[in-house]
Structure 1
Amino acid sequence: MNLTLPRPAHRAAGSHALPAPRWSRPALWAVLAAAFFLYAWALSGDANEYYAAAVLSGTGSWKAFFFGAIDAGSFITVDKPPLALWVMGLSARIFGYGTYSMLLPQALAGVAAVALVHSAVRRSFPPGRDAHAAALAAAVVMTLTPITVAINRDNNPDTVLVLLLTLAGWFCLESLRTGRLRPLLLAALFVGLAFNAKMLQAYLVVPAFAVAYLACGGISWPKRLGRLLAAGAVLAVSSAWWMVIVDLWPADSRPYIGGSTDNTVRDLVIGYNGLGRIFGQSQGGGFGGGGARWGGDPGAGRLFNDVLAGQISWLLPFCVAALAVAVLLRTRRLPAGEAPSGAAWLVWGGWLVVHYVVFSFSSGTFHPYYTTAMAPAVAALTGMGAVVMWRAYRNSRAWAWLLPVAVAATGAWAFMVLRRTPDWTPWLAWVVLGATLAAVAALVLARARVTAKVTAFALAATLVATLGGPAAYAVTPLASPVNGTNPTAGPSSAGGMGQPGRPDGGRPGGSLRGEPEGGPDAGPGNPGGGRGGPGGGVSDALAAYLVAHQGTATWLVAVDSAQQASGLILATGKPVIAMGGFTGGDPAMTVDRLRELVSSGRLRYVMTGGGPGRSGGEVSSWVQENCAAVDGQDGLRDCAA
């Protein structure tokens, strides 16, 4: 059974024959300009120093660039595949490493995602004003999603992930719209590339795409299945090519795979960046809960808790109403009019539902910024739902109540979220509440007696009711330093782990640039903890001493974790070994490996006392026995003395 509404003949050719309204293009450019301003204004610092160190190291070594090593000597990689690093690294190679050369590509990727959502929504409607109105509404929502603003000002891989997945969604819908195979294969290609930005999280869109194609393919069932199998082959190749190359590469001539337990990308995919995120992953790499829950405890209400509500949940009530509209359209109870295709509802609705389930119930490490992957679906469903509900409101007495109810629920939820932080712009919650009541009253009045002035007032009040809260949150990152490891938008809130960020983007009481993605006990002085000063706890004087005495050694020094190494790499521009990877718990350094590095002259100094990471065991004992303490440099050992 095909859910796609009848396709006009001129749409089969792949273009919209009717001219766009005069306001459409200027409005789109205004939204894109606003998005660029929000994502690129007043960027500063190194954002997430862990990834920044890898970007800087990649400018000095193509080997480090390809593998995504944190250090130019290529001892260990970051705990993600390197595609997002490649985007920033190429910019840094061309223009030189700096804040804007690294972060501007991220901002541009965010703007491109807004444009793609606009295009995808517009092309899902029959030609006409409704298509442009829905697309514009979707672009505005995408632009003003608070967590998306925060993450697009950062160097985490999620910005590139969202862009690639939005590209995949665009091509999937284009394949369904035109009946062509090539766009479907391109959709699979972009999902595979997204896999190389953040691994298995990229696959959360695949069920929605597959269901949409099976339901709305417009060709025989055998051909649909055949095409999906072809797309699956493209997905497999575009996902696995880097992993296969790295895992086949001789382990002794490439960096250790950070985050893995056996030095393979395969283990990283299945464990730390796969099942470990869903079921939880212990220090030893096993499963069983205990991951850092920066987004609060798992459960059906996680996306509505004090941590995440202000980041992504504002328009979820409206999206629920939009999906209800999609069901009514399918049952023909609601007049279709200029409605989007059934495929669009399935793609964006499935995208949202799958992400909601996985994000809500995952027991592993979960940061608020992961939810930016929901933003394209929230934006598209809001834009499509708003236009369809408006048409039903204007043209169907039986279903005219849908829009006022959706606005009332969305505005009421926004009021509740804003009242959770009553000391932050306390007037805003009451303005939103007043706008909600006014919008509902005006919609009722306008339905009884339609006038241009009442309709305009109803629409203006609706915009304040639904977008006032997220817009206020969305501008807060512009006035604060970039918090690279746990970026959030909005006001501060009392509490520790899992609580919303301060206005400057950090957690209350947390280090601006050192909050880990590690376990719940991670903190300054612990594996995965905050860097205690310049160079990851290394004083300026000690950093200067290391640079002056490096000699011909490849690495400046070896330290316990990447949390220590990254700051020192950025401060000196020199390679630094992170013996235990991100948290200090990776089995990357062994006694034999350390002995070989020292005997070959590639490493001279080792820092001890950085926490109970890998240096707390056999490696630490070897260092204590074979490396002399350096006078006046606390914790530094000279293994060549």
Structure 2
Amino acid sequence: MVSTTAAIIASAQRTGGRLLARPGTSGRSPVGGPAHARPALLAILVMAALLFTWDIQHSGYHAFYAQTARSMSESWKGFLFGSFDPGNSITIDKLPGFLWPQALSARIFGFHPWALTLPQVIEGVLSVAVLYRAVRRWAGESAGLLAAGAFALTPAVAGLFRTQAEDPAFTLLVLLAADATLRAAREARLRPLLAAGIWVGLGFQAKMLEAWAVLPALGLLYVVSAPTVLRRRLAHLAAAGAVCLAVSAAWVLLVTLTPAKDRPYVDGTTNNSAISQVVGYNFLTRFSSLGIDAKDTGSVAAQTMAGTVPKGPGAGHAAMQWAKMVGPSLASQVGWLYPAAALAAVCGLVWLRGRPRTDPLRAGFLLWTVWLATYFLVFSAGAVGGHTYYMGVVAVPLAALFGAGTVQFWRAWRNGSGARTWALPVAVVTTVAWSAVVAGQYPTFLPWLAPAAIILGAGALALLALSRTDGAEGARRRVAVLGLGLAVVAMLGPSAAWAASVLDPAYGHSGMGSAGPVSTWHHHNARQRTLSAPPAAGNAGGKAPKSTDGLDEDQQRLLAYTRAHQDGATYLFATTSWRSAAAYILYAGAKVLPMGGFTGAAPTPTGAQFRHLVATGRLRYVVLGGVVTVPGRTNAEWVRAHCVRLPLPTSRLYRCSPRSAAALP
């Protein structure tokens, strides 16, 4: 924040109160730009890297994704299909694209929490740089620096790029798509528009249909502002759309065209279909509050999830559902700049409405406003369930609008009189007041924050007012510039203070990507979503460690016994839920068969398939216990009736012989 504010003050002082550069600059390296641009950008990137990497060596494992990353790192088949288990029996319950960088990192550096987190750190720093470039191209140097700083200092962003979740890669990819579309729209060029289609398609591999929610903003930007005839604009969009569709559908087509016997079962589905996983399980079930029923799409019901806690209020709290984006849990993570960004969107579109259709500044305001409105509505209507890291894609347009809006407000303050002059003071007052309200929801966390923001905001307003009094022009200009700097600190300060909590070990390793406190229920849930790494998780020599130090004594005894008596079986043993198998996969890379997938409701293996595994000697042992759902319950009943329980203390281990599989179920 200090580097961003200093850069803005330097720019304003050197240009007589104006902020550089003009909208529409090239967007290339800041070489040749203002002298402060390169060091300011470097300082912002270093600050972002510090926030994203702080205490990374003590990162924990994500309670579900880490097992998949390990399985993917141990075989190329598992890597391609996103296998949850090393035996490649079932996939993760979403597309695996976001885990490909993590699996490659684990192959290179060894399987450690920090090795899984490192790709997200890189994606985060790149995201800050790409946002700077995109906003600089659109609204100028100062706007780009402000946007980059505001983005990096958003709590959800500071937490997001420290996680092992899917949103870091997704956020970077849609940012690259926006940057490419801005380039395409400036000169009606097809090549960067096709690149945008590729980026969105790759984003689909990371976050599925959520990536397509950015398409209305990108498409509207191009069709409204590209300097060519409408027919050509539509033709370009059609070509880019075809590329986007082809890249998006690549993995789904691969799975669909691969015989079921040659690939893992597709989790989250009842029909082993990648289309059902994407459309039903990972899309329609997220909007159950709207009365949408995905039961006929071949997806399992989200509420059957084995061993999970309830995801907050039910359908009877519809008003609360729609208001969650402004509730304390999410507003404290992403919403500090809501007033400034909203005012920037309105003023940007209204003030520039008389400009030519191809005006790039107006087009940029249209892009970020539609982007923000789309994702705001999507998350308001859909289930978020405490996943703070979803908010990265909301932080992007908020930061962009804040950066460009602040520059526009400052120019209006310096250049004119009338209603537009009040935009900057209104932005300061509303943003500081809103920040005080949000901070007030957590009175025991940073209790000085709200008073400090109010004092800074009042000081900024006083300096701005003083700059309008009689006096020497140079002195009034310096006072105004100081007022601007203080205004930026007042608006960004609360968000920055909250984001800085990732430096505190108490808040630095949230599995949900949060920074600072969140609501009681969400905070508890976040802690349940990470697993700590053992003190000696292995070496750093590039191979997955063989250490089982993360297993307790009973688990190690069970693992040693089944390994000693594996007798050529494909799987060491089967479990009735993924949770029972998780530790053995995570810490030992063991080929354990988890029945039912993440929800416990995926019908794999069926009773016939289970008995076939036993009959052919591919499965000899089964561990019963834990949360059991279909098909685990059905197979567990068969195991109790036809297999022999072994006298292994503290575990219900059964041995099943090929002869037992000949018995009727």
Give the TM interval when normalised to the shorter protein: 0.7 to 0.9
Which of these residues, 218, 229, 237, is aligned with residue 228 of structure 1? 237
2:538 match: none
- Corresponding residue SS for 1:464: helix
2:663 match: none
Matches of 1:619 and 1:588, distance apart in 2: 10
The residue correspondences of 1:322-337 to structure 2 (distance < 5 A) are 322-332=344-354
CA distance 1:589–1:180, shift in 2 (3 Å): same
CA distance 1:312–1:537, shift in 2 (3 Å): farther
2:284 corresponds to 1:275:
yes
2:411 match: 391
2:95 match: 81
The residue correspondences of 1:201-350 to structure 2 (distance < 5 A) are 201-279=210-288, 285=299, 293=311, 299-332=321-354, 341-350=361-370
The residue correspondences of 1:598-609 to structure 2 (distance < 5 A) are 598-609=614-625
2:51 corresponds to 1:30:
no
Task: Quote the offset at 1:178 in angstroms.
Answer: 2.5
CA distance 1:484–1:135, shift in 2 (3 Å): same
Task: Quote the offset at 1:243 in angstroms.
Answer: 0.6
Task: Quote the offset at 1:244 in angstroms.
Answer: 0.4
2:9 match: none
CA distance 1:537–1:558, shift in 2 (3 Å): farther
2:373 match: 353
Matches of 2:405 and 2:379, distance apart in 1: 23
Instruction: Confirm or deny: 8 A CA contact 1:293 1:367 kept in the other structure.
Output: no
CA deviation vs aligned residue, 1:7-33 (integer Å, no higher than 9, x gap): x99979886999300000011011101
2:152 corresponds to 1:143:
yes
The residue correspondences of 1:10-21 to structure 2 (distance < 5 A) are 19-21=32-34
Matches of 2:156 and 2:584, distance apart in 1: 29
Task: Quote the offset at 1:283 in angstroms.
Answer: 10
How many residues align structurally?
Answer: 599
Q: What residue identity is the alignment partner of 2:441?
A: R
CA distance 1:431–1:83, shift in 2 (3 Å): same
Task: Quote the offset at 1:600 in angstroms.
Answer: 2.4
Instruction: Confirm or deny: 8 A CA contact 1:69 1:76 kept in the other structure.
Output: yes
Task: Quote the offset at 1:114 in angstroms.
Answer: 0.4
- Corresponding residue SS for 2:622: strand
Instruction: Confirm or deny: 8 A CA contact 1:604 1:638 kept in the other structure.
Output: yes
Which is further off, 608-617 or 164-173?
A: 608-617
Q: Aligned-residue CA RMSD in angstroms?
A: 3.0
- Corresponding residue SS for 2:590: coil
The percentage of counterpart residues that share the same residue type is 36
Which is further off, 276-285 or 440-449?
A: 276-285
- Corresponding residue SS for 1:355: helix
CA distance 1:11–1:315, shift in 2 (3 Å): closer
Task: Quote the offset at 1:564 in angstroms.
Answer: 2.9
Task: Quote the offset at 1:295 in angstroms.
Answer: 9.6
Instruction: Confirm or deny: 8 A CA contact 2:30 2:38 kept in the other structure.
Output: no
Task: Quote the offset at 1:551 in angstroms.
Answer: 4.2
Which is further off, 397-406 or 621-630?
A: 621-630
Task: Quote the offset at 1:350 in angstroms.
Answer: 0.9
Unaligned 5+ segments in structure 1 are 1-7, 126-130, 516-532
2:484 corresponds to 1:459:
yes
Unaligned 5+ segments in structure 2 are 1-20, 533-548, 661-665
2:637 match: 621
CA deviation vs aligned residue, 1:396-423 (integer Å, no higher than 9, x gap): 1111110110111111111111111111
Task: Quote the offset at 1:149 in angstroms.
Answer: 1.3
Matches of 2:116 and 2:478, distance apart in 1: 48
CA distance 1:356–1:431, shift in 2 (3 Å): same
Task: Quote the offset at 1:441 in angstroms.
Answer: 2.5
Task: Quote the offset at 1:91 in angstroms.
Answer: 1.7
1:69 match: 83
Between Structure 1 and Structure 2, the one with more helix by share is 2
- Corresponding residue SS for 1:607: strand
CA deviation vs aligned residue, 1:103-155 (integer Å, no higher than 9, x gap): 11110001000000000011113xxxxx1111000000111111111121111
Task: Quote the offset at 1:610 in angstroms.
Answer: 1.4
Task: Quote the offset at 1:455 in angstroms.
Answer: 2.5
- Corresponding residue SS for 1:637: strand
Instruction: Confirm or deny: 8 A CA contact 2:501 2:515 kept in the other structure.
Output: yes
The residue correspondences of 1:554-633 to structure 2 (distance < 5 A) are 554-633=570-649
The residue correspondences of 1:30-49 to structure 2 (distance < 5 A) are 30-43=43-56, 44-49=58-63
Q: What residue identity is the alignment partner of 1:433?
A: I
2:652 corresponds to 1:639:
no
Select the structure with the greater relative contact order (CA < 8 A; seq sep ≥ 6). 2
2:536 match: none
2:107 corresponds to 1:93:
yes
- Corresponding residue SS for 2:283: helix
Instruction: Confirm or deny: 8 A CA contact 2:23 2:361 kept in the other structure.
Output: no
Matches of 1:70 and 1:427, distance apart in 2: 46
- Corresponding residue SS for 2:467: helix
CA distance 1:615–1:283, shift in 2 (3 Å): farther
Instruction: Confirm or deny: 8 A CA contact 1:443 1:455 kept in the other structure.
Output: yes
Matches of 2:504 and 2:257, distance apart in 1: 46
Instruction: Confirm or deny: 8 A CA contact 1:124 1:344 kept in the other structure.
Output: yes
CA distance 1:373–1:537, shift in 2 (3 Å): farther
Matches of 1:59 and 1:319, distance apart in 2: 42
Matches of 1:466 and 1:17, distance apart in 2: 26
Instruction: Confirm or deny: 8 A CA contact 2:300 2:601 kept in the other structure.
Output: no
Instruction: Confirm or deny: 8 A CA contact 1:278 1:358 kept in the other structure.
Output: no
CA distance 1:263–1:547, shift in 2 (3 Å): same
Instruction: Confirm or deny: 8 A CA contact 2:25 2:137 kept in the other structure.
Output: no
- Corresponding residue SS for 1:341: helix
1:524 match: none
2:428 corresponds to 1:411:
no
Task: Quote the offset at 1:366 in angstroms.
Answer: 6.2
1:4 match: none
Which is further off, 566-575 or 134-143?
A: 566-575
